[in-house]
Structures are given as C-alpha cells and as structure tokens.
A and B are shown apart, each in its own frame.
Chain A
C-alpha cells in the first residue's frame, strides 16, 4: 500500500533544518502501523510531506502509494488516490458549511476517479447514517467547517470525513491530542469500524493510550527523523513504561 524509502526532507525556507533523515517504512493493505516518538522527532512532518503540504523540500528518497509516486502529485491528486490525513489541528473555514465542504470533496474525488457524482439526496442519506454513528448531530453538519467546534468535535469531524471519503491509506496525526477518555473511545470506535483488509492506517501518536483503542499490528519508534526501532504492540508498552530515553540511547 504505502512504501516510504529513505525519505529525507528539510524546511523549504531553511535548508539547515533537516527534519526527515532517511525514513523507510512499508505498510501492506489492511495493516495498522503506529509511529511513536518524542516531540520534534519529525512525526507530523512525515504526515505533511506525505500529503503534500507546502514548506518542505524532499531532498532524497521517495514514497509511493500503490506503486504511484506520491511526491509527484498535487495534494488533491494524493487525496483522490486514496490518501487521507486526519489533521492534528483541523482547520477552521468560516462561512463554508460542513456539508457543502464534504460534498464538494466527495464529488471532487469521485470525479477525479471517473466515478459518478453523488446527488444531494444520496449524499444526505449517507452522511446522516455516518454522522449518527459518530454522534454528530445535524447542527454540527450545518455549521461552518470546524468553526467553534470543541477539540473533540473537530476530531470526530475528521473521522466523519474519513468515513465519507473512504480512503485506502489513512494517516492519523496525533488524533488523541486534546481528547478526553470518552471522546477518544468514540473516535477510536469510528476508526476501528473502518478497518478492513483493503485499508491501511498509519497512527501517529505521542502516547501509548490511543493504541489501547486502536490496536496496531506494528509499532515504530521515531527519533531525529528516522525510525530507530520497530516491533509489535509490545513496543508501545515498553515506551509507556520506560519512556523514549532508553530507546534513543540504544539507537545512538
């Protein structure tokens, strides 16, 4: 599904700041991978580089999604190809209704893939059902995108978008940040419901607790722009117990 090979990236404005320094990772269809690491290890940058946000320069290496070169594509092409990023800080867009936003996105992607667009009626039916599962009420759908949403509402909205867009490769960037226990459960249930053999996940998190809810197949520890250790779910527990310091010392 996702193949990252020796990826190097630095800040576009300041080539002195090198963030990714040779990161490699392979995610097969249906797998859930977690990347953990201390602040500043480059976790969020990885998600931005993969999704095509401005501001980063890839200097070496590459990334493919189902064999297609991700880094050559515009952000919307990556989205249409099936890449979805659940933002750590979902962006507020005043004046644009949540529904309008989502339907525009859904239909843009369908069109890009040569599929029939959804009519208003069909769309409404689908979104109502999905919203209900995530306990998102009609009012939240009508409000402008993320404007005035609480932290939990924003993250639920991200998962709703994920459910509507049905991507192949989902990157969850610190989806647990700012969530209380109940909200985390709700969000995790939403994610788990989407798990299937054809869909892969990359869960980026600082803490192990999210991984109690979204059980990963593989856990990777990231430090200074590289993966320094990979293992099974037990690796996350180890971090929880001992912190990152030991692992980092081990790696250097």
Chain B
C-alpha cells in the first residue's frame, strides 16, 4: 500500500478501535439519528494524527485516546471566578454534568433553554436543524473528527434559543471535582432574526474535555460569546465553535486561556448572508507545560461581509502557542473585508510559536490582509520606560498588557474586558 492509503487505513482502524467499546447514548428520534450519522462520519474519517496537515503542530493523541491522564483540581482562593460580578443566569456543570441545584432558574434569561438530556424524543424543530448539522458542514474542507466524536457521544449540553434580546447573559459555569472526569458537552444556540444573546463560559471543565457549540445567528441577530478556560494546569481538551451567520448577523467570540497542558480551540465560521460580521479573538498566557492551539476558519460566502481574527499569545518557559487561521473568500463574496493577526510574545528562550495564517481568495474586489509576528519584548521600549523611571518588572507588565490589548478590544462589553484584563495582569504577576 502506498503511504497515503496506508495512513488513511491506520486512522480508520484507530477510530474503529476507539469506538468498539462505546455505544451511542440512549435516546431516540432526531438526536439518535444525528448521533448515528456522526458516528459514521467519524469511522469514515478516522481519528486525527499528527501527520494530518492541521495537526502538524499539535499532537492529538491525548485527545483521542481512550486513556487520559488524571488532572489535579486547582483550588483557587486568590481571585473570584470570572464573570462573578455579572448579572447572569448561571447554568452549572460539574465535571461536565449538569447540576440543577447549583444553577439558576433558566427562565430568568428570557430565552428558551432546554437540556440535551431531555430532548431525545421531543419535537424541537429548530434544534434538529442545527444539532450535528453545522458540525457536519464543518468537516469540509478540513476534517474535524473530534467534533464528530462529540456529536455522536455527547449527552450533556444546553439548547438555547433567543427570539428577542435576552434579559440576561446565559453563563455556563464549568466546575471540576474529580481528577479523572472525561467530559463531552454539546451546546446549540439559535439567535433568531434581530435577537441578541450573550453567552458566557468559564471554568476548567474536566480533566479531559471535548466541547462543541453549534450556533446559528439569523438575519440581524447578534451573539456575544466570551469564554475563559480556567487556570487548572494538567487538563487537556478541545473546544469547537461552529457558527453560521445570516444577513447582517454579528458574532463576537473571545477566549482567554491561561494554563492547561493541552488546549485546542477550533472555530469554523460561515458568513452566509450579506453584510455579516464575525470577530474571533483570543488571548493566551502560558508558562511551562502548556500547549495551546487556536485553529480558526472564517468563510465568506456572501457579499459585503467583514471578519477579524485577533490572537495574542504570551508564552514562557517552554510553553507552545499554535495559531492556524484561514480567511476563505468565495467567488460570490465580493467587497469582503477580512483581517487576521496572530502574534506571540516569547518571554524566554524556550517558548515556541508555530503559525499557519492562510488566505484563500476567489473574489477580486476584496480587501484582505493578515499579519503574524513573533518576538521578545522590544528592548528599546523597555529601556525607554525604565529611563523614565518605571521599574523593570512593571515596565514589562505594561508592555505585555499593551501587547494583549488588541485582542481584548474585541470584547464588546468594557466591564467584561476590564475583568479579563485584570485576570491576565494577576497571571503575569504570579508568573513573573
């Protein structure tokens, strides 16, 4: 067998072996149909391996294996959990399992909220059109087997439908209690025409996690998504965001990642309607055994869309930051404005930044640009600050925060942005 066919066979065999001991969750109706289809997709694709083009910088083994390492639960006493000050409707998951007692009454958010556990035989038409459908669409042009795995086996998750401006943000809070939990969660979100929703996520989730969000944003709808991925060090996990935007729809998604042995955040965004706008941003701070990967695809399918990808990574002491981003402009998407920036600040010699920032453009009347830089703190800037009397540590802190600012600017709510900025500052103080 020639090398490529051999690799494909190995990947399929690995998927076969991984699924052998797993059975699809009980249920029925449309959820089961979606799960069955996802399982078949996965078996056809096979499990990802490092030789796959989009896994060249991140080894997926710890995310695909049936074995996973225990992760110590971090007790945090020096700061409040993220978004504590926000007036929100909390839905709490412990080790990836919904905890009704710890959660607020979902009705308070002014949106429809159901649990994935409860919907098996219900007639949620809107959810049927989304669950597994966006994920399936997202398998092209690049396979995302972890997401198919998730669709097939997730039992936990929420289904949120906003038909108007939500009264309060919906906050998904992910707590941990066990060193061994392996969490699979799948949320779906539908923002109807002209509606608006803020979705918050925070917490370290589980020792290992696999999360998927599928979001559909109708014409003129807005989804704000702000996520912090906790501070626990040993955990490993992947998160996928699939979002499909109608005419004039808006999406702003921001992720703060601090610590974590291995985190892969993927986003797959389609601007299907004219004049849609998607901003995907992330700030990452990592120290030591830390491998963080942002893989972001934005597809412009219609005229006059606008997108921004802004990713900033501060890395030290062997930490590895990965960015793989693409702006794809289809032939129909004239007058697209696409921008992408990925930058790393390496605080010492051992840190690494690996990036593949791509443009793929089939329309001529477009404005697309990307930039990517890597380097250390600019010694001239540092000296300038010190010459003006700022102590070295303080000066460095200022420069690092300045570096991160462009990503934080992508958060619409200034209070949230300020909260996250403060968290990064504390992190930098702890890790200086």
The answer to whether A and B touch in the complex, with CB atoms under 8 Å apart, is no
Name B residues whose Cβ lies closer than 8 Å to a Cβ of A.
none
